[in-house]
Each structure stands twice: as C-alpha cells, then as structure tokens.
Amino acid sequence: MEIIAEAGLFAVPGGGGPDYVTHMASADLSVGTYSIPVGGVDDQTPHAEDEVYIVTSGRATIETPSGSALVGPGSVIFVPAGEPHQFIAVTEDLALIVIFGPAYGSRQLQ
C-alpha cells in the first residue's frame, strides 16, 4: 500500500506554464498531478496510454476532436490513448490528478 498525500494539490509552475509531477509508477499504472495556472497554455501532445483526469481544484474547458466540456472540482475525464486533448480557458488555477494505464511513458504512439 502507498498513500499519495500530495496528489491533486496545485503547484505553482515555474515559468508560468503547466507543471506535471509523477507521484508513483508501476508497470501497469502511474499517478501524477498536472497543474495549469490561470491563463496558462496546455501544450501537451497525445499520449500512448489511456488516461483519467480527476479535477481537484480550478476550472477550465477540455477540448478533444469529439467536442469540448467545462470541467471543475469533481469532474472525471477519460481520454483514450492517442486522442489529442488540451485544457483551454483556464479561469481558476487548475489541479488534476492524472492516472495513466499502463504507466506514463511505457508505450510509444503508433
């Protein structure tokens, strides 16, 4: 067992952009926190792993090719491997718990 006490806490990113911190990783799963400040630009590219975001604080819009949605505390978002996605219009400092399966960086996009 492992308790990840710091997961989902907003961290002030250096340089004003987004910040991602990995808290734990195994072969099949990883957990991290993604922080985007108000007005920040989410510059991520598609991942080779399935991904679940849990919004712990803040508000923004998530955009994917299939549409967009407003998200805030308590929102849970599933993004399948390879799907382009970005958080835009960040109106409150955004903190997200990010769960990758399998672990982040363990696969290559085809």
Q: What does residue 56 show for φ and ψ, rounded to 5 degrees? A: -100, -30
pLDDT confidence bin for 20, thresholds 50/70/90: very high
CA-based torsion, 29, 3, 8, 71: positive or negative: positive
| Residues written for the chain | 110
The residue type found at 65 is P
Q: What is the pLDDT of residues 69-88, one digit of tens each?
A: 999 999 999 999 999 999 99
**Domain contains 2:** no
**Domain contains 53:** yes
**Domain contains 34:** yes
**Domain contains 110:** no
Q: What is the pLDDT of residues 85-99, one digit of tens each?
A: 999 999 999 999 999
- How far is the CA of 40 from the CAs of 4, 25, 46, 50, in angstroms? 26, 27, 18, 24
**Domain contains 83:** yes
Q: Which domain range does residue 90 map to?
A: 14-101
The predicted model gives 54-61 an average pLDDT of: 98
Question: What CATH number has the domain bearing residue 28?
Answer: 2.60.120.10
**Domain contains 6:** no
**Domain contains 25:** yes
Q: Which helix (H) or strand (E) holds 30?
A: strand 30-36
**Domain contains 9:** no
Q: Give the contacts of 45 (CB within 8 A, at least 6 positions apart).
A: 84
Q: How many domains does one find in the chain?
A: 1
